[in-house]
Structure 1
Amino acid sequence: MTIFDALTMIGGLCLFLFGMNVMGQALEVSAGRNLRNILAKLTNNISIGFFTGLIITMVIQSSSATTVMVVGFVNSGLLTLKQSIGVIIGANVGTTVTAWILSLQQINGEIFWLKLLKPSAFTPVLAVIGIFLFMFCKGEKKKNIGLIFLGFATLMTGMDTMSSAVEHIGEQQWFIDLLVLFENPLLGILVGTLLTALIQSSSASVGILQIFANSTPISIATCIPIILGMNIGTCITAMLSSIGATKNGKRAAYVHLSFNIIGTFVLIAIFWPLKSFGNIEFFSQNANMWTVAACHTVLKIACTLLLLPSAGLLEKISYWLIPLDETPEQAVVLDERLFATPSIAIERSREVTVDMANCAIKTLTDSLDLFDNYTPELAQAIRDGEEKTDKYEDALGSYLVKLSNYKISASDSAEAAMLLKLIGDFERISDHGVNILEAVEELREKKLSFSEEARKEISVMINATREVLEYASKAFVDGDIEALAEISPLEQVIDVLKETLRSNHIARLQKGNCSIEVGFVWSDLITDLERTSDHCSNIAGCLIDLSNLDMNIHEHLRAIKSDDNTYKKKVSFYTEKYAV
């Protein structure tokens, strides 16, 4: 093997890994929203978890990506440790699909339809289709499909390049001597572990083994320990991901590691005596791409049959390695590990934004209660609510900005932009709650009060503000389309109400029924109430913009908006309801 062969081998490996990465990322983006739905249905049933992990990994073609995703979910509290075990085991089996796809390279025969199954026949076609979709189509789905095809074509080109580089390596004496060393199962496990830990992909390392098996005289007995070692090496990605995670997140990574280590050493304990004393001809046969894929699959299924019924044991081992604390640990609300699956990170951001919305709206509505029921405890609760809302805004803002640096779909990007706008509006709503609190406290400290007429007027505007807040909450938190349609006409009425109350107050000042000092507080209060309704209108606007992605909702809202008579009736209804 010359230096040029070595460079060709390295170049082919780079193409192979790059193609696998591009294809995997495009598959994740394409499948992102479906992953949400699959995970939402996950239960404590270990079998359902197993098939969930199996399906996800078959789709995204990476058990490492699935297990890192699971560590992030457990760390964020989206999954329990028990739920994660089945998913992790399923991911280990799902990763074997890649090896079978790569094995198509070894198809031989003169039959036309059989030749079409060989990657060398259809890879150029996929590359042409892929580059056309990626460069000339505007739809994001089409571009993603193009990337999937291009990634696969690059992957197969890398395989062909590596195959040509090692075509004659089996004739080299040093390589033959190396194969003799690898007949020691423990050394084979070590090599498989180190190789996979280095490239952080068991699919890629098994693919490399398939290339060597196709070009060199490697026995099946030599391949089996290497494959088992690769199963251990693939755990490095999840272990690295668990650094800085909660204890439950770390336990999920240890479940993955325990599954593969226990499975490897149980199977090697069966394999070694059979190889040494069983005189089984199968083990001495030369491996090829098909037999490597078959061994990979059979070993994974054997581990699953062995350990899936003992999932409770894996959970106990993880608790033994990471003991329980006396004080319960809080899950990480926004975990950057979820960036590996942006659609899930967006969904988590929305859930946290819902929590923020509830906190902000409660802060504002509590402040409206101060006029009739002021207590120091309620005042402190309002300040605490505003402070908590600020923390939500900081955390969500940073998280969404970081997420925007990742490759995400157009719909997820639109939702991230919407959430960034929404958190600003919710934060301002909580600020207005504190402003109202300070206005009420100023009245109490200075022993000032509104006239009876003024109290009635402010009460009307408070009730209107309560209602628009309720509609905003229903629209965002509950997804109520009908509530969304009520916000704009009610906000318009509140704008008019503010000007009416301002004019009425000026009239009272002129008559001497109100003092200038009370007038300043009055002006601040009605401004805070009116701006609260403005933020509710902004929230409605964001939700309507996002509804363009859902044509059913969009058509419904457009019908309401285009029906000028309906809109006027709503304005008229609220004008009458909140007349002063």
Structure 2
Amino acid sequence: MSIAIGAIGGLGLFLYGMQMMGAGLQKAAGKKLERIIEILTTNRFMGVFVGMLVTGIIQSSSATTVMVVGFVNAGIMNLTQAVGVIMGANIGTTITGQIVSMSIEDIAPISIGVGMVIWMTTKKDSRKTLAEILIGLGILFLGMEFLKDALKPLRELESFNTMILSLSHHPLLGVLVGFALTFIVQSSSASIGMLIALASQGVLPLAAALPILYGDNIGTCTTALLSSIGASKNARRAAIIHLAFNAVGTLLFVIVLSGPIAKLVTMWDPSDVGRQIANAHTVFNLANVVIQFPFAFFLVKVAMWLVPDKAEDHADEKITRFIDDRILETPTIAIKSAINEAINMGNLAKDSLSFAMDGFFEGQIDKVKKTFELEKNINTLETVITEFLVKLSNRDILDTDRRYIDGLFNNINDIERIGDHADNIAELILSVNEKNIVFTEKSKSALLIMYNKTKMTYELALKVLDKPDQAMINQVMALEKELDTLEREARHDHFTRLNNNECSTENGVYYLEIVNNLERISDLSCNLVRVVSETVEVA
């Protein structure tokens, strides 16, 4: 019982330290990690690199793969790109094993001590992030030491030694043990850490460790498989690709390549079994990627066969394009996804305005009516993005990112109101059409000028939301002032026409309402960039 309690405590510290260090590394990566989404849209070659990088930062291949399922479900990534990221994640996860296999436990107290001093003596986000990394690293090594000490008595247990010996002779049994172990702790890095801890106490030879190591790689697939339940077909296919890739690699190495790996890592480090296990884990994942990468399209075909399209199926109708709760696993990337989704919502509002006004000038009422369809989607997006941002704000994030998220709440509210004003304009135009009201050419000309300026102002505001730029912010502010002047001139000219009996009172009511809604859209565009300038570091 004391062995079990000590092992659970050590494993808990190990997992907590790994999570804390990963969170710190992710914050430190900051804007660089945000650019991952842009890289993901290239090809599977870059995908391997991205998978390695992200997993090395967040210290969890399971989290990376779950995020991949989220990207595929959101439509950001296709299956070919997903294959590369999944392969790269398997390489990235070997970093933790390499770290814990090194005999540098003595730095644990120093790392924790230095980290705590930095944490307590600074208010700067960057230094607190460094402290978080140091404390997490120290706790990770501390947990590893607890684990080793707890497992030390196993050397004296004959039954345990007999069981380990049987694993050496029955590799498939070892694979099942590795699968079960990773399934339970939901972390292949923790499983590898336990193998290294056992090896350091002289109770686990390399021959018994290798099959367990291979099984770990299958067990880590369960997280993504569970996450894909209820997701789109392509998301389920991405999870199956992960399973197929690791299962094929495990079979290949158990049957053919286990011997060569054992010889290679033993030659590199003849005396330290812990280092042999860490090196075997790295070699296995690297070799697996090299061998299977040229045949990635077969993995896609297998996934397509297992989750086929049916004739009666229709394409998934998704309003969202960039956000998915699975992406919350990596808050920095989730923030960028939320920004992209807000811009997607903003473009719908822009289209809504265009349909209303272009339909008016072209005399196409069917085009005007499309505004009402878009308005429903805009309202739905506002709800979905808000819920996503609430979940994101509850994550462990930097104060600067929290301010940015607060700003996004305001941004999507303003965009929704812009959609409302476009909807108002469409309603007014329908009423104008139904009552056969005719605007004078001067009135229509003034509306056209004002509409073009409003549209330009709003388009610039959306660009600022995507890439904050002071020059564009100033341009939006200047355009908004011009629109205020145009609005006053439109009112003055209308009253002049009214006094000269050039138009009716009823015409004027509708005309001024359209003018007022256009001016309000320019005001809200100005609000968008003002919020950005207050919450983001502007270039």
Give the TM-score of the pair, scaled to structure 2: 0.88
Cα gap change, 1:465 to 1:104, in 2 (>3 Å): closer
Question: Given that residues 185 and 225 in structure 1 are in contact (C-alpha distance below 8 angstroms), is that contact kept between their aligned partners in structure 2?
Answer: yes
Quote the residue 1:430 is aligned against.
419
Cα gap change, 1:400 to 1:303, in 2 (>3 Å): same
Task: Determine whether 1:210 maps to 2:199.
Answer: no
Task: Determine whether 1:238 maps to 2:236.
Answer: no
Quote the residue 1:395 is aligned against.
384
Work out which of the residue numbers 296, 302, 308 in structure 2 matches 1:317: 302
Cα gap change, 1:422 to 1:179, in 2 (>3 Å): same
| Matches of 1:314 and 1:181, distance apart in 2 | 33
| Matches of 1:391 and 1:379, distance apart in 2 | 20
Q: CA deviation at 1:457?
A: 5.2
| Matches of 1:387 and 1:56, distance apart in 2 | 36
Question: Given that residues 39 and 50 in structure 2 are in contact (C-alpha distance below 8 angstroms), is that contact kept between their aligned partners in structure 1?
Answer: no
Question: Given that residues 17 and 137 in structure 2 are in contact (C-alpha distance below 8 angstroms), is that contact kept between their aligned partners in structure 1?
Answer: yes
| Matches of 1:304 and 1:372, distance apart in 2 | 58
Quote the residue 1:575 is aligned against.
none
Quote the residue 1:292 is aligned against.
277
Quote the residue 1:189 is aligned against.
175
Q: CA deviation at 1:540?
A: 2.4
Q: CA deviation at 1:473?
A: 4.7
Cα gap change, 1:153 to 1:268, in 2 (>3 Å): same
| Matches of 2:98 and 2:472, distance apart in 1 | 52
- Stretch moving more, 435-444 or 377-386: 435-444
Partner letter of residue 248 of structure 1? N
Q: CA deviation at 1:261?
A: 1.4
Q: CA deviation at 1:87?
A: 2.1
- Listed as ranges, the matches of 1:545-556 within 5 Å are 545-547=534-536, 549-550=537-538, 553=539
Work out which of the residue numbers 97, 100, 109 in structure 2 matches 1:99: 97
Work out which of the residue numbers 324, 335, 341 in structure 2 matches 1:335: 324
Work out which of the residue numbers 5, 8, 27 in structure 2 matches 1:7: 5
| Matches of 1:541 and 1:418, distance apart in 2 | 10
Task: Determine whether 1:35 maps to 2:2.
Answer: no
| Matches of 2:404 and 2:245, distance apart in 1 | 38
Quote the residue 1:146 is aligned against.
131
Cα gap change, 1:169 to 1:546, in 2 (>3 Å): same
Partner letter of residue 40 of structure 1? E
Give the TM-score of the pair, scaled to structure 1: 0.82
Q: CA deviation at 1:338?
A: 0.6
Question: Given that residues 359 and 366 in structure 2 are in contact (C-alpha distance below 8 angstroms), is that contact kept between their aligned partners in structure 1?
Answer: no
Question: Given that residues 487 and 515 in structure 2 are in contact (C-alpha distance below 8 angstroms), is that contact kept between their aligned partners in structure 1?
Answer: yes
- Listed as ranges, the matches of 1:498-577 within 5 Å are 498-502=487-491, 505=494, 515-547=504-536, 549-550=537-538, 553=539
| Matches of 2:152 and 2:4, distance apart in 1 | 12
Cα gap change, 1:533 to 1:323, in 2 (>3 Å): same
Task: Determine whether 1:484 maps to 2:478.
Answer: no
Cα gap change, 1:460 to 1:102, in 2 (>3 Å): closer
Question: Given that residues 19 and 59 in structure 2 are in contact (C-alpha distance below 8 angstroms), is that contact kept between their aligned partners in structure 1?
Answer: no
Partner letter of residue 416 of structure 2? E
Query: After superposition, what is the alpha-carbon deviation per residue over 1:32-62, rounded to whole angstroms, capped at 9, x for unaligned?
Result: 5323434533576554433332333233322
Work out which of the residue numbers 35, 49, 59 in structure 2 matches 1:61: 59
Cα gap change, 1:441 to 1:82, in 2 (>3 Å): closer
Work out which of the residue numbers 427, 433, 446 in structure 2 matches 1:444: 433
Quote the residue 1:307 is aligned against.
292
Q: CA deviation at 1:411?
A: 4.1
Quote the residue 1:88 is aligned against.
86
Quote the residue 2:157 is aligned against.
172
Cα gap change, 1:85 to 1:537, in 2 (>3 Å): same
Q: CA deviation at 1:204?
A: 0.6
Work out which of the residue numbers 225, 230, 237 in structure 1 matches 2:211: 225
Work out which of the residue numbers 247, 267, 282 in structure 1 matches 2:233: 247
- Stretch moving more, 298-307 or 212-221: 298-307
Partner letter of residue 113 of structure 2? V
Aligned length: 529
Give the number of the structure whose alpha-carbon radius of gyration is greater.
1
Unaligned runs of 5+ in 1: 106-117, 554-580
| Matches of 2:452 and 2:44, distance apart in 1 | 51
Question: Given that residues 217 and 287 in structure 1 are in contact (C-alpha distance below 8 angstroms), is that contact kept between their aligned partners in structure 2?
Answer: no
Question: Given that residues 32 and 342 in structure 1 are in contact (C-alpha distance below 8 angstroms), is that contact kept between their aligned partners in structure 2?
Answer: no
Partner letter of residue 225 of structure 1? P
Work out which of the residue numbers 136, 146, 155 in structure 2 matches 1:161: 146
Q: CA deviation at 1:405?
A: 1.5
| Matches of 1:539 and 1:43, distance apart in 2 | 27
Cα gap change, 1:458 to 1:163, in 2 (>3 Å): closer
- Stretch moving more, 168-177 or 229-238: 168-177
Partner letter of residue 208 of structure 1? M
Question: Given that residues 3 and 153 in structure 2 are in contact (C-alpha distance below 8 angstroms), is that contact kept between their aligned partners in structure 1?
Answer: no
Q: CA deviation at 1:203?
A: 0.9
Q: CA deviation at 1:518?
A: 3.9
SS for the counterpart of 1:41 is helix
SS for the counterpart of 2:115 is helix
- Stretch moving more, 122-131 or 480-489: 480-489
Partner letter of residue 318 of structure 1? A
Query: After superposition, what is the alpha-carbon deviation per residue over 1:455-483, rounded to whole angstroms, capped at 9, x for unaligned?
Result: 56555544543443454355446766544
Q: CA deviation at 1:400?
A: 1.8
